[in-house]
Amino acid sequence: MSNALIEYITIFVLAAFVGIEVISKVPTILHTPLMSGSNAIHGIILVGAIAVEANAHGALQLTLGLIAVVLATINVVGGFVVTDRMLEMFKARRPVEEKQD
Amino acid sequence: MHKYLLVGTSGLTQAEGVHLAYLVASVLFILGLKQLSSPKGARKGNITAAVGMVIALGTGLVGLHPSSTKIILIVAGVAFGLVVGTVSARKVKMTAMPQMVAAFNGVGGGAAALVSVEEYARLIAHSSQAVVFVLTVVFSVVIGCVSFAGSVLAFLKLQELMTGRPVTYPGQQVVNALIVVAILAIAVFLIGFGTSVALVVVLLALALVLGVAFVLPIGGADMPVVISMLNAFTGLAVAATGFVLGNTVLIVGGTLVGASGTLLTKMMGDSMGRSLGNVLFAAVGKVTSSTGASTGEGETRSVRTGTADDIGVMLAYSHKVIIVPGYGLAVAQAQHAARELASALEKRGVEVSYAIHPVAGRMPGHMNVLLAEADVPYEQLKEMDEINDQFKLADAVLVVGANDVVNPSARNSPSSPIYGMPILNADQAKNIVFMKRSMRPGFAGVDNDLMFDPKTIMLFGDAKDSLNKLVAAVKAA
């Protein structure tokens, strides 16, 4: 195995543990926003889509690469925007005036 | 020969700079996920992750030297995606969120598959590639396409463009198994024996069919769990594409989503009282085992249970909460704890009232006395007639030690012993929290359908104890 491959596998395994650990305490009401937020993060595929489009040869590869760029952009942008809308409702609600009782 | 990214500094090469920037982006992704899993920081977490994304995307451009035609194509593609993504995310109704998430997830999976196919087609033309390269191409194509097609189907079901009911047919399992076998056969050939772009395209098509076949038998109610799983799938497909391209930030981002998404899927299933296996294969199994009872639901009913922490957070972010106290509250001497919970909620701006059923407690008015004793303001105590049409406006109803007074069978089922008794319309609230000492599933006493309502969360334990935990959870939220 090449050094690069070992490096990638290391990163993969460590990231897997971090991914599990980092969300292990999420309350139920945040399940959907968290799913949506992580959904936006895998839009990182846009980096790959742009790279293959930049290296593409011929009309077919250019077309497929372009489709990939469009799809990945929708994933990133839509993902973050829709998550933000969901989380708007978690804005700190202004507490009512303290009652003296 | 190195190109220096930062001229005049201690010699950071361009490649090193790219790696460091990817590391920063990765850290921001992790911090973002961390913040997203607590109500206080959730919105910030989304922005943190978005900043990471911008950094990663900017870094990804370094070292690319596309022709001007390609630059135009890429800019146009990004601009188009930006408009479609933003507009659809902004316009979608809050009720349609799940299918929107499914759609955004699906396009990510599709992109991952396309990127891998492209890279395979480009590199395989020059020379044969290492086994790991082909393996990860195959993986990301299959998983990415399953996620894409599955998400499209989930979208159609939730958007009610097709039936939301499970679609089953005889021999479904056989058909699905055949698709899987065909995919595996092609995968083995590509990895071990030959190179063929055409076969990769066939693989892609078969995986699309598998994605459809896989989601067809799953009902609309289970769709959130399925979407979460497909989200994890896309993450893994993106990670595999990271291996294909040798890009670390793709590996980190994809794996984070793959791992956290898998755990999240399990947690979502748990909170619905469904195991993942049950969600995925229950309907398929139904075709073969037709020995079920005529009532259908009866045997497999399960209740959702929640933790005090979860429920406390849910209450804290509600607008309107109604507490239904019953005799159990009095027995546990929990009226002071109930009062404390109400105060904690009011401090956060939540509107709290108590719904007093005529027979709550031991005698009419009993409950009012008990609560008055605990300094509950009189105006918060509502009689049944006064509050019964308020339940549908409530975000949450907290049933504390009451049972029959919220049992919908008094309304719906003439065979029930309590049929005809006026009840509190707790079942109309958006969420119902049922606090009870204990309940064995399938308990054969006076069955309360409300406990099996999908909107209901059970919180087991002593009423006073549970209320105190809720107070702590609300204060911490």
Q: Give the domain ranges of chain A.
A: 3-88
pLDDT(A42) > 70: yes
Cα distance between residue B238 and residue B253, in whole Å: 8
Cα distance between residue B358 and residue B422, in whole Å: 9
Which pLDDT score is estimated for B432? 92
**Residues 50 through 79 of chain B touching chain A, CB cutoff 8 Å:** 50, 52-53, 56-57, 59-61, 64-66, 70, 73-74, 76-78
Residue with tokens 């990415």: B144
Could you tell me the pLDDT band of residue B372, with boundaries at 50, 70 and 90?
Answer: confident
Q: What is the mean pLDDT of residues A25-38?
A: 84
- Facing residue for A23 by CB, picked from B37, B61, B104: B37
A88 within 8 A of B43, measured Cβ to Cβ:
yes
pLDDT(B295) > 60: no
State both tokens at A37. Answer: 């937020």
Q: Reply yes or no on whether B404 is catalytic.
A: yes
Which pLDDT score is estimated for B365? 60
pLDDT(B431) > 60: yes
pLDDT(B385) > 90: no
Which pLDDT score is estimated for B137? 94
Handedness of CA B48, B49, B54, B55 (dihedral sign): positive
- Facing residue for A31 by CB, picked from B90, B245, B268: B268
Q: Which amino acid is at B334?
A: A
No. of helices (H) and no. of strands (E), chain B: 17, 6
Residue with tokens 């601009």: B79
Q: Nearest CA of chain B to the CA of A22: how many Å? A: 5
Which pLDDT score is estimated for B376? 83
Q: What is the DSSP letter of B429?
A: S
When mean pLDDT is compared over B197-211, B221-235, B414-428, the highest value belongs to: B197-211
User: A85-98 as b/e, with b when 16 or more CB fall inside 10 Å?
Assistant: bbbeebeeeeeeee
Dmax of chain B from CA atoms? 90
- Using the Cβ of B255 and the Cβ atoms of chain A, whether some distance falls under 8 Å is answered with yes
Cα distance between residue B204 and residue B201, in whole Å: 5
Q: Between A96 and B61, name the one with better pLDDT.
A: B61
B102 within 8 A of B227, measured Cβ to Cβ:
yes
Q: Nearest CA of chain B to the CA of A58: how many Å? A: 10
Which pLDDT score is estimated for B442? 31
Instruction: With beta carbons under 8 A apart, name residues in chain B contacting A10.
Output: none
Query: Tens of pLDDT along B11-65?
Result: 788 889 999 999 999 999 999 999 998 878 889 999 999 999 999 999 999 988 8
When mean pLDDT is compared over B138-142, B355-359, B444-448, the highest value belongs to: B138-142
Which pLDDT score is estimated for B436? 83
Q: How many CB atoms within 10 Å of residue B174?
A: 9
pLDDT(B465) > 80: yes
B474 within 8 A of B433, measured Cβ to Cβ:
no
Could you tell me the pLDDT band of residue B288, with boundaries at 50, 70 and 90?
Answer: very low
Whether A41 sits inside 8 A of B33 (CB atoms) is yes
Lowest mean pLDDT segment, chosen from A21-30, B39-48, B82-91, B466-475:
A21-30
Cα distance between residue B112 and residue B236, in whole Å: 10
Which pLDDT score is estimated for B236? 97
State both tokens at B471. Answer: 């107070």
The set of residues, in sequence order, having a beta carbon less than 8 Å from that of B189 and lying 6+ positions away, is B199
Q: Answer whether 0.95 is exceeded by the pTM.
A: no
- Facing residue for B115 by CB, picked from A33, A49, A80: A49
Helices (H), chain A: 3-22, 31-41, 45-54, 58-87
Cα distance between residue B407 and residue B419, in whole Å: 9
Whether A44 sits inside 8 A of B254 (CB atoms) is yes
Mutate which: A21, A38, A69, vs B, most B CBs within 10 A: A38
Could you tell me the pLDDT band of residue B293, with boundaries at 50, 70 and 90?
Answer: very low
Mutate which: B256, B350, B456, vs A, most A CBs within 10 A: B256
Which pLDDT score is estimated for B7? 53
Concatenating the DSSP letter of every residue in B206-267 gives: HHHHHHHHHHTTS-GGGHHHHHHHHHHHHHHHHHHHHHHHT-HHHHHHHHHHHHHHHHHHHH
pLDDT(B428) > 70: yes
Q: Report the chain A residue with the minimal C-alpha distance to residue B229.
A: A35
B396 forms beta bridges with B321
Instruction: With beta carbons under 8 A apart, name residues in chain B contacting A78.
Output: 84-86, 88-89, 100, 103-104, 107
pLDDT(A12) > 90: yes
Mutate which: B31, B64, B257, vs A, most A CBs within 10 A: B257
Which pLDDT score is estimated for A15? 96
User: Distance between alpha carbon B274 and the CA centroid of its chain, in Å?
Assistant: 13
pLDDT(A59) > 80: yes
Which pLDDT score is estimated for B78? 96
Domain with CATH 3.40.50.1220 in chain B: 302-476
- Facing residue for A64 by CB, picked from B117, B258, B264: B117
Q: How many CB atoms within 10 Å of residue B150?
A: 30
Q: Give me chain B's average pLDDT, please.
A: 85
Which pLDDT score is estimated for B40? 82
B355 forms beta bridges with B382
Whether A71 sits inside 8 A of B107 (CB atoms) is yes
- Facing residue for A11 by CB, picked from B33, B251, B261: B251
Q: Report the chain A residue with the minimal C-alpha distance to residue B120.
A: A52
Burial of B42 (0-12, 13-18, 19+ CB in 10 A): buried
Which pLDDT score is estimated for B404? 78
Which pLDDT score is estimated for A94? 42
Instruction: With beta carbons under 8 A apart, name residues in chain B contacting A18.
Output: 30, 256, 259
Cα distance between residue B376 and residue B387, in whole Å: 17
Which pLDDT score is estimated for A43? 96
A68 forms beta bridges with none
Half-sphere exposure of A27 (CA within 13 A, CB side): 22
Nearest to A12 by CA among B178, B354, B255: B255
Mutate which: A20, A31, A45, A70, vs B, most B CBs within 10 A: A45
Which pLDDT score is estimated for B358? 73
ipTM for this model: 0.91
B432 forms beta bridges with B397, B456
Instruction: With beta carbons under 8 A apart, name residues in chain A contacting B98.
Output: 32
- Facing residue for A90 by CB, picked from B39, B57, B110: B39
A46 within 8 A of B41, measured Cβ to Cβ:
no
Half-sphere exposure of A12 (CA within 13 A, CB side): 19
B470 within 8 A of B311, measured Cβ to Cβ:
yes
Q: Which amino acid is at B463?
A: A
State both tokens at B338. Answer: 């109930």
Which pLDDT score is estimated for B446? 56
User: Distance between alpha carbon B100 and the CA centroid of its chain, in Å?
Assistant: 13
Kindly list the strands in the beta sheet with B320-325, ordered across the sheet, starting from the edge strand earlier in the chain.
Answer: B381-383, B351-356, B320-325, B396-400, B432-436, B456-460
Q: Given 3.40.250.10, 3.40.50.1220, 3.40.50.1000, 3.90.110.10, which CATH number is that of B302-476?
A: 3.40.50.1220
The set of residues, in sequence order, having a beta carbon less than 8 Å from that of B372 and lying 6+ positions away, is B378, B381
Distances in Å between the Cα of A47 and the Cα atoms of B59, B206, B241, B247, B369 are: 9, 26, 11, 9, 66
Lowest mean pLDDT segment, chosen from A3-17, B109-123, B203-217, B380-394:
B380-394
Could you tell me the pLDDT band of residue B287, with boundaries at 50, 70 and 90?
Answer: very low
- Using the Cβ of B349 and the Cβ atoms of chain A, whether some distance falls under 8 Å is answered with yes
Which member of B270, B309, B404, B465 is catalytic? B404
Could you tell me the pLDDT band of residue B168, with boundaries at 50, 70 and 90?
Answer: confident
State both tokens at B15. Answer: 């490649």
